[in-house]
């Protein structure tokens, strides 16, 4: 079991970290003082009472569905409930965060599970409210939408009215919520949970070593070809072993989705995702079509990578191996200064937010036993702090990860200043804009300080990330579309059927310089296919970010427009928010411009490789 983290947020392990002038682990004291804080039950009781008060007041009434003034009163009370309590208050956020720090701790898991059950119960108790609003007759809807009293909730109401035709009765909605764990969530966790427990013995540096599943995935990027082969061989054995389980698992998820779509009268498998994300299906289609039409860019990239590495072809598992030598170490303190310098050059507000996070213990910086891998930025209530998790190991990627996650945080703080609690979130279609925007500007700062050899390796790493975020995710989306379509035609798909579909779509963006012949079973470990059409958001976020970066470079004052967008939350649809900035995301040309920028970066990289006589 990992040691408990002190809520002061200060790290006392290792001399290198003691001298750090900032707090480098989370200070959770704004939420609770400890895992056994006597306030836990008190706070949860307040949450229950606040929710119960709202339900008791409005569940039997109909007048708020007839009079704008009364509807405003009810929405004001819902906003206050969402602002101060939500469905689990401070204990819910506290234990969600503690779980990320100590995932093997059964006591934390138990407390979190108990709180999650309460959250589900409270969400269900309030379902009547938005269901009733959604079913206000069309002839009466305009009265509410045009009401001056309700202007602060206009888009909230617009979304409710849009969802109306896909909603069921209150009782049926509760049943769907309650069955979601058994018909989707537990299936989703099954394969990933089994894979995470796997270990295999492989040969490394002349001796046998035992590696877990996560380690094996990481070794696919190792610079030693024999190590890559060993890791891939082990992964292939694991995938083969669990393909028999993954097959019914994914079919169960596909079947549940088909049932839900049929009940809700969705004509396409991805339509529910688009409605939930507040983006028009036509816009997502345009994004996917635009990127698919430029798969020549990703194919050129892999051709270049194969040449630089001296390989006739890359194996499928080798597509992400790094090229070249980069500066070996980027210590946390040095990385922080670089990110601060970049933010300062963009806008002082960005720097102020970052420094607040560092000062207040809102960033957990270093890896330790029991802590989750990777990085994220998270928030819950508008009245609670934002928290960022890192696992800084002094790599180049760690530098850009700081910028990426703090970008999400900046997005949160700007929304917090301008929006009420019902608009305090980002649509999935634009959720990655702030993060990639900040990340790219930090990368440009790194490039300024690099010699040509280092520059080439950084450019290759940058392109590798963009190909993965834009072209690979588009191929994933195309695969998902066909996967759901084939299931609905045939009623069941064998692992061989799924493997062939996957291989076909991976080949479509990788091209002839990547051997996909043994990629059949790689769909098994990709969690996104269980999240259902989530991946387009990476594509849209990256390409919108590129457009905004271009405009800021042309005119630094455009950063004010960027801040305007970042503060908008869900107060309007992404389409309308960008139209207010003079950007039309419904046009294919808009998306092609972003792709042209990637092509320009690829041209620059190819030219530099030729100049250095690498190809």
Query: What pLDDT does 15 receive?
Result: 34
Query: What pLDDT does 19 receive?
Result: 56
**Sequence-ordered alpha helix ranges (H) in 126-224:** 127-134, 138-145, 154-163, 170-180, 186-196, 213-219
Tell me how crowded residue 259 is: count the other CB atoms within 10 A of its CB. Answer: 13
Q: pLDDT tens for residues 228-252? A: 999 999 999 999 999 999 999 999 9
Please tell me the distance from the alpha carbon of residue 141 to that of residue 299, in angstroms, as a whole number.
Answer: 50
| Interval 336-353 mean pLDDT | 98
Query: What pLDDT does 328 receive?
Result: 67
Query: What pLDDT does 9 receive?
Result: 30
> CA torsion sign, 603 to 608 to 614 to 615?
positive
Token pair for residue 496? 């061989």
Q: pLDDT tens for residues 503-542? A: 999 999 999 999 999 999 999 999 889 999 999 999 999 9
Q: Average per-residue pLDDT in the chain?
A: 93
Of the pLDDT bands very low, low, confident and very high (cuts 50, 70, 90), residue 379 is very high
Query: What pLDDT does 6 receive?
Result: 25
CATH 1.20.140.70 fits 31-167, yes or no: yes
Structure letter (DSSP) for residue 27: -
Angle at 482 (CA atoms; ends 288, 469), nearest 5 degrees: 40
Of the pLDDT bands very low, low, confident and very high (cuts 50, 70, 90), residue 14 is very low
Radius of gyration of the chain (CA): 25
Q: pLDDT tens for residues 76-113? A: 999 999 999 999 999 999 999 999 999 889 999 999 99
Query: What pLDDT does 564 receive?
Result: 96
Structure letter (DSSP) for residue 59: T
> Shortest CA distance to 134 belongs to which of 173, 77, 178?
173
Token pair for residue 133? 């609003």
Query: What pLDDT does 5 receive?
Result: 27
Can you give the residue ranges of every domain in the chain?
A: 31-167
Query: What pLDDT does 320 receive?
Result: 93
**What is the DSSP pairing of strand 199-204 with strand 207-212?**
antiparallel
SS3 202: strand
Between 377 and 192, whose confidence is greater? 377
Please tell me the distance from the alpha carbon of residue 210 to that of residue 521, in angstroms, as a whole number.
Answer: 23
| Residue listed under structure tokens 């009782």 | 171
Q: Does the pLDDT at position 180 exceed 90?
A: no
Q: pLDDT tens for residues 399-445? A: 999 999 999 999 999 999 999 999 999 998 999 999 999 999 999 99
| Interval 489-493 mean pLDDT | 98
Of the pLDDT bands very low, low, confident and very high (cuts 50, 70, 90), residue 327 is low
Contact 421, 83 (CB under 8 A): yes
> Shortest CA distance to 434 belongs to which of 519, 593, 300, 548?
548
| Interval 550-571 mean pLDDT | 96
Q: Does the pLDDT at position 13 exceed 90?
A: no
| Interval 548-574 mean pLDDT | 96
Tell me how crowded residue 468 is: count the other CB atoms within 10 A of its CB. Answer: 15
Query: What pLDDT does 154 receive?
Result: 98
Contact 136, 144 (CB under 8 A): yes
Q: pLDDT tens for residues 129-154? A: 999 999 999 999 999 999 999 999 99
Query: What pLDDT does 20 receive?
Result: 66
Tell me how crowded residue 529 is: count the other CB atoms within 10 A of its CB. Answer: 23
């Amino acid at each position: 079991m990992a040691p408990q983290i002190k809520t002061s947020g200060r790290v006392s392990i290792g001399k290198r970290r003691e001298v750090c002038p900032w707090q480098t682990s989370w200070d959770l004291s704004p939420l609770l003082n400890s895992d056994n804080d006597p306030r836990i039950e008190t706070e949860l009781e307040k949450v229950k009472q606040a929710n119960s008060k709202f339900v008791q007041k409005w569940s039997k009434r109909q007048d708020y569905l007839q009079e704008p003034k009364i509807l405003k009163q009810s929405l004001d009370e819902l906003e206050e409930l969402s602002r101060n309590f939500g469905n689990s208050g401070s204990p819910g956020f506290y234990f969600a965060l503690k779980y990320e720090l100590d995932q093997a701790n059964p006591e934390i898991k138990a407390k979190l599970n108990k709180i999650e059950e309460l959250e589900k119960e409270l969400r269900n108790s309030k379902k009547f409210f938005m269901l009733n609003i959604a079913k206000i007759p069309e002839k009466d809807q305009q009265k509410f939408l045009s009401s001056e009293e309700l202007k602060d909730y206009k888009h909230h109401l617009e979304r409710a009215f849009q969802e109306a035709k896909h909603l069921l009765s209150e009782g049926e909605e509760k049943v769907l919520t309650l069955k979601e764990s058994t018909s989707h969530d537990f299936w989703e966790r099954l394969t990933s949970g089994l894979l995470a427990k796997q270990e295999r013995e492989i040969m490394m540096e002349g001796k046998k070593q035992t590696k877990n599943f996560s380690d094996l995935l990481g070794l696919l990027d190792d610079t030693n070809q024999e190590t890559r082969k060993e890791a891939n061989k082990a992964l292939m054995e694991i995938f083969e072993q669990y393909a028999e389980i993954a097959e019914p698992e994914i079919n169960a998820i596909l079947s549940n989705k088909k049932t839900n779509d049929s009940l809700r009268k969705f004509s396409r498998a991805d339509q529910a995702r688009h409605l939930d994300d507040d983006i028009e299906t036509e816009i997502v289609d345009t994004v996917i079509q635009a990127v698919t039409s430029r798969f020549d860019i990703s194919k050129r990239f892999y051709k270049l990578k194969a040449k630089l590495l001296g390989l006739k072809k890359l194996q499928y598992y080798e597509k992400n191996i790094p090229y070249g030598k980069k500066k070996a170490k980027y210590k946390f303190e040095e990385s922080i200064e670089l990110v601060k310098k970049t933010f300062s050059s963009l806008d002082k507000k960005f720097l102020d937010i970052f420094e607040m996070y560092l000062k207040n213990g809102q960033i957990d910086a270093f890896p330790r036993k029991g802590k989750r891998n990777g990085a994220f930025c998270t928030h819950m209530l508008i009245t609670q702090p934002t928290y960022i998790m890192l696992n800084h190991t002094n790599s180049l990627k760690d530098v850009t990860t700081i910028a990426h996650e703090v970008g999400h945080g900046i997005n949160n703080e700007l929304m917090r200043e301008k929006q009420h609690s019902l608009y305090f979130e980002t649509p999935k279609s634009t959720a990655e804009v702030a993060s990639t925007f900040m990340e790219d500007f930090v990368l440009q700062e790194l490039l300024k300080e690099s010699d040509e050899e280092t520059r080439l390796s950084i450019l290759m790493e940058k392109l590798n990330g963009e190909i993965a975020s834009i072209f690979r995710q588009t191929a994933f989306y195309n695969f998902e579309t066909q996967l759901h379509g084939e299931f609905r035609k045939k009623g069941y798909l064998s692992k061989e059927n799924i493997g062939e579909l996957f291989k076909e779509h991976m080949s479509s963006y990788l091209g002839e310089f990547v051997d996909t012949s043994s990629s059949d079973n790689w769909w098994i470990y990709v969690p996104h296919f269980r999240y259902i059409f989530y991946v387009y958001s990476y594509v849209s976020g990256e390409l919108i970010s590129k457009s905004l970066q271009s405009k800021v470079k042309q005119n630094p004052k455009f950063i004010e427009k960027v801040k305007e967008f970042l503060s908008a939350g869900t107060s309007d649809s992404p389409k309308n928010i960008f139209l207010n900035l003079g950007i039309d995301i419904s046009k294919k040309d808009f998306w092609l411009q972003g792709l042209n920028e990637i092509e320009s970066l690829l041209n620059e990289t190819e030219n530099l490789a030729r100049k250095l006589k690498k190809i």
